[in-house]
Amino acid sequence: MDYTESINFYCKLLGTCCTHNQVSLTPFDIFILANHLEVPANFLYKNKLISYIINKNNYWMEPVINLKNEICPFLFFKNDLERICEIHESRPTVCRIYPLNYNIQFNSYTIPENVKERCRKCFDTNEKVLVNDYIKNSELEERIIFYKDYIDFKKIIINHGFTLQKIKGKPTQKKQFFKIQEILYEKYPIQFLTQSVFPWEEMKQEILDVIEFG
């Protein structure tokens, strides 16, 4: 999909995208969300707002929003028809992109057919918006820049053999792996009052030190 193309889409606050829909998180997403809620990152795990799933493609532990009865815990039912996202201003990258799907390889966007079916009422509109405008309005530009760097850095970690599959029977590597996961997803912000700037370069260096020195 070209950035100058337009899409027929208008969110009607139905909440269908917030049910039965897995939301993967980046470290930046977690940092922004924790700051919004005024809690340290590990609070989100301790209170089961975030949990891990295993990516079977690369045996990486991916953080996701922990659905409750297949519903996002941050979805508020305003009335019988309207739903409100309680973290809308700090919503994750996946939510900001929706209903688009981002292809990192081609730096392009598409709208999957299953998304059109899921949110057909929001697509049934005369409202049109340019893809480029939708990206800007959703404040996606910074998120996508980080997302690319994050994916590249995660590949470096995986190429060093730090996956659930490759650390089996290797106590030292297992300890390193979970330390890396902690730094990426559970450590920052340590306290929301003392940390407002996302320390990505610091995090990467911490992880490289774990890889090199254990």
Where exactly are the structural domains of the chain? 8-214
Q: Please state, in angstroms and as integers, the Cα–Cα distance from residue 1 to each residue in 73, 101, 141, 196, 201, following that order.
A: 32, 10, 17, 35, 32
Look at the block and give the residue holding tokens 């300890």: 175
Rounded CA gap, 114 and 94, in Å? 15
Q: How many angstroms from the chain centroid is the CA of residue 169?
A: 30
Q: Which of 103, 109, 97 is nearest to 138 (CA)?
A: 97
What does the pLDDT profile of the chain (214 residues) look like in tens digits?
888 899 999 998 899 999 999 999 999 999 999 999 999 999 999 999 999 999 999 999 999 999 999 999 999 988 887 889 999 999 999 999 999 999 999 989 999 999 999 999 999 999 899 999 999 999 999 999 999 999 999 999 999 999 999 999 999 999 999 999 999 999 999 986 667 899 999 999 999 999 999 8
